[in-house]
């Protein structure tokens, strides 16, 4: 974005939103710890501020990207052009309805900026089931909704009742679960719709039993998934009737590297940032995995990881080299 236009938009946004900055490095906001700068970075704290941001940015004809908890995505080294919105503290809440005498169900409205893990633990402590599967899934509740986060046979779509957010015309709109078009690791929202709040309907269960289920989920994640190096979670979706991690492992790709990016030795469907990895290295390694798995199994792995930002800069020369694991297949 040209400096003059950037400064003008900064002035306009600052009249309506408290927190507006320019040229913010996004790596610190992602679980991968990878990502270049945002031209403009905005943190609205209310629906009114969010509406103002959407209205101004659309009027300027600029792209707008909403950054949730920073998991499940890879931001390019060149960063993101236009405006990046990260929901502020005003969207970090959970509001529980009064429990009925029969305790058949309990409704709760959760801000899209709230940590998914925090919401799960809160539900368990109150004695409500439906989201224990999500313990350990990183990111925000809003981000979990967008990818229909799931694990161990559960998905958020099973307990979502409605959402509220801001549409491309800067209007506040409510949508029922039937209007959301849930699928495997996806949610079909109207174009440019920004989720601000999610309504859940949860069923009661004994807190002790829920605690046991949650601890089992925690144990499964600790023993099967890598820890200690930044990553963005599962890189590829599971193809029908198979597991992406197993196909990658059988193709001999555990430990494969591209620069500072490495396929995990513990779980092959994770790529690790071993220290200073660039987005271009991760992307190159993902493409190598796709080609190798196709050659070995005739299965093309579809990314679960979202690639966002400006990927045009830096093209033209040869990409970074991919190296096999030192341990071999």
Render 122-171 in DSSP notation, one character per residue. HHHHHTEES-GGGTT--SBHHHHHHTT-EETTEEGGGTEEEEEEE-TTS-
Residue 187 class from Cβ within 10 Å (0-12 exposed, 13-18 middle, 19+ buried)? buried
CB atoms within 10 A of CB 153: 7
Question: Phi and psi at residue 129, in whole multiples of 5°?
Answer: -95, 170
Tens digit of each residue's pLDDT (9 = 90 or more) over 247-258: 999 999 999 999
* DSSP tag of 323: B
Q: Which residue has the higher pLDDT, 244 or 18?
A: 244
Choice among 58, 109, 164, 185 that is catalytic: 185
**pLDDT at res. 36:** 97
Domain with CATH 3.30.43.10 in the chain: 3-89
Residues 98-119: what's their mean pLDDT?
83
User: Residue 103's pLDDT is what?
Assistant: 60
Count Cα atoms within 13 angstroms, Cβ side, for 306: 18
- Is 185 one of the catalytic residues? yes
43: annotated active-site residue: no
The Cα–Cα gap between 289 and 295 comes to: 10
Of the candidates 71, 140, 157, 234, the residue annotated as catalytic is 234
Distance of alpha carbon 51 from alpha carbon 168, whole angstroms: 9
Is the distance from CB of 159 to CB of 177 less than 8 angstroms? no
Q: Is the pLDDT of residue 101 over 70?
A: no
Topology adopted by domain 3-89: 3.30.43
The tens digit of pLDDT for each residue in 50-91 reads 999 999 999 999 999 999 888 889 999 999 999 999 999 999
Query: Annotated catalytic, 8?
Result: no
Question: How many Å apart are CA 90 and CA 47, to the nearest integer?
Answer: 9
Please name the residues in contact with 135: beta carbons below 8 A apart, sequence gap of 6 or more: 117, 120, 121, 124, 214, 217, 218, 221
pLDDT tens across 110-157, in order?
999 999 989 999 998 888 988 888 887 888 999 999 988 877 778 899
How many Å apart are CA 108 and CA 124, to the nearest integer?
A: 13
What confidence tier does 24 reach under pLDDT thresholds 50, 70, 90? very high
DSSP labels, 226-283: --SS-B-S--BPPPTTS-HHHHHHHTT-TT-EETTEEE-SS-TT-EEE-SS--HHHHH
Q: pTM here?
A: 0.85
pLDDT in tens, 239-296: 999 999 999 999 999 999 999 999 999 999 999 999 999 999 999 999 999 999 999 9
pLDDT at 4: 80
CATH number of the domain at 227-329, please?
3.90.78.10
Look at residue 172 and tell me whether its pLDDT is greater than 80.
yes
Question: Which residue's structure tokens are 């990881």?
Answer: 305
pLDDT for 273 = 98
Residue 102 clears pLDDT 60, i.e. is over it? no
Say whether pLDDT at 107 is over 70: yes
227 pLDDT above the threshold of 90 = no
For residue 314, pLDDT over 60 is answered with: no
Predicted local distance difference test score (pLDDT) of residue 236: 97
- pLDDT (tens digit, 9 = 90+) per residue, 186-207? 888 999 999 999 999 998 888 7
Numbered ranges of CATH 3.30.465.10 in the chain: 92-224
Residue showing tokens 């270049």: 36
Measured at the CA of 96, the angle between CA 121 and CA 220, to 5 degrees, comes to: 20
**What pLDDT, on the 0 to 100 scale, is given for residue 78?**
97
Say whether pLDDT at 40 is over 90. yes
User: What is the reported pLDDT for 318?
Assistant: 64
Q: State residue 329's pLDDT score.
A: 44
Residues of the chain with CATH 3.90.78.10: 227-329
CA 108 vs CA 105, 166, 175, 210, 283: distances in Å: 10, 20, 16, 18, 38
For the 92-224 domain, the top CATH level (class) is: alpha beta
Asked whether the beta carbons of 235 and 304 are under 8 A apart, the reply is yes
Per-residue pLDDT for 26 more than 70? yes
- Sign of the CA dihedral with 244 first, then 184, 162, and 146 last: positive
Band of pLDDT at residue 328, cut at 50, 70 and 90: very low
The answer to whether 285 and 271 are in contact (CB under 8 A) is yes
């Amino acid at each position: 974005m040209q400096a003059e236009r950037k400064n003008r938009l900064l002035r306009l946004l600052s009249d309506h939103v408290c927190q507006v900055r320019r040229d913010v490095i996004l790596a610190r906001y992602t679980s991968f710890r990878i990502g270049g700068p945002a031209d403009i970075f905005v943190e609205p704290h209310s629906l009114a501020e969010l509406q103002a941001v959407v209205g101004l940015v659309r009027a300027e004809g600029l792209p707008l990207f909403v950054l949730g908890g920073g998991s499940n995505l890879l931001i390019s080294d060149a960063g993101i052009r236009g405006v990046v919105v990260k929901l502020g503290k005003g969207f970090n809440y959970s509001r529980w309805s009064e429990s009925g005498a029969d305790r058949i169900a309990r409704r709760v409205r959760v801000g899209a900026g709230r940590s998914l893990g925090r919401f799960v633990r809160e539900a368990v402590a109150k004695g409500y089931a439906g989201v224990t599967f999500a313990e350990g899934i990183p990111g925000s509740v809003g981000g979990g909704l967008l990818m229909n986060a799931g694990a161990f046979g559960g998905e958020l779509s099973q307990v979502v009742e409605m959402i509220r957010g801001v549409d491309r015309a800067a209007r506040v709109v409510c949508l029922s679960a039937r209007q959301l078009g849930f699928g495997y690791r996806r949610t079909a929202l109207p174009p440019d719709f920004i989720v601000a709040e999610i309504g859940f309907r949860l069923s009661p269960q004994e807190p002790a039993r829920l605690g046991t289920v949650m601890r089992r989920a925690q144990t499964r994640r600790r023993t099967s998934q890598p820890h200690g190096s930044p990553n963005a979670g599962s890189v590829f979706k599971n193809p029908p009737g198979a597991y992406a991690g197993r196909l990658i492992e059988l193709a001999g790709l555990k430990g494969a590297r591209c620069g500072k990016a490495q396929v995990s030795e513990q779980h092959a469907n994770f790529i690790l940032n071993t220290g200073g990895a660039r987005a271009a290295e991760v992307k190159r390694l993902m493409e190598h995995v796709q080609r190798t798995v196709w050659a070995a199994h005739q299965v093309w792995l579809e990314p679960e990881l979202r690639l966002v930002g400006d990927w045009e800069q830096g093209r033209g020369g040869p990409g970074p080299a991919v190296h096999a694991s030192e341990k071999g297949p």
